[in-house]
Amino acid sequence: MYKRDKTENLKNNIRYLMRSRGETRISLCNASGLTRTTIYNILEGRVVNVQQSTIRKISDFFGVSYKEIEAIDLEGREVIESTVSLYGNMNPAAVPVIKQRQLVQDMNKRIGELVTICPLTYYFGTASNLIGVRLETDIDGMYDLGDLLIVKKGELNGEGETLVYNKETKRLFVVRENYRESDADLIVGSIIEERFNGL
């Protein structure tokens, strides 16, 4: 009975992690190196005793402990953590908002100075060295005029999206992994939140 409970918990956690992280069975198989049959058998409840090496590959893919994925209700835990802060009543971070046309001249200023000369927005989360970039032109059909991008200044995001300014074209663009920086490019930083149409 204990094994069956652990397997049921594993199955539910994999389903939740795939749904909440935007993954599919195929993307999980391709990235973890497991066969589709293995994943399908676990998710369909056809396996009672899943090998530890299989569990470890799945948990590594999702960035959770292999013990947690078997024993804890991850969905329930994440719901609680998102509503109750572990650190008590945290204050949001003040984020200076820079207009796109001011970006190059303001990039070298410290956050403490920017906070005193720019309008502010607030970021609810744990982060530092943040700026907001108010777009004054569209970016490749991804973002529109008026959108606000919250960016971790100067950081190149290897896995997510990075905002880059090209000094020659005087335009912003977004890059993902495997980006090669050129001399004309100024890395604004990694995008950690988008607020569409100024919301």
Task: Report which DSSP code applies to 124.
Answer: -
Q: How confident is the model at residue 133 (pLDDT cuts 50, 70, 90)?
A: very high
User: Is residue 88 predicted with pLDDT exceeding 70?
Assistant: no
Interatomic CA distance for residues 2 and 81, integer angstroms: 27
| pLDDT of 2 | 44
Query: Do 120 and 40 reside in the same domain of the chain?
Result: no
| Count of structural domains, the chain | 2
User: Is residue 172 predicted with pLDDT exceeding 70?
Assistant: yes
Q: What is the mean pLDDT of the chain?
A: 82
- Give the pLDDT confidence of 97-120 residue by residue, as tens digits: 999 999 888 988 888 888 889 999
H helix and E strand count, the chain: 8, 7
Give the domain-ending residue among 83, 107, 124.
Answer: 83
Give domain status of residue 166, yes or no. Answer: yes
Query: Do 181 and 131 reside in the same domain of the chain?
Result: yes
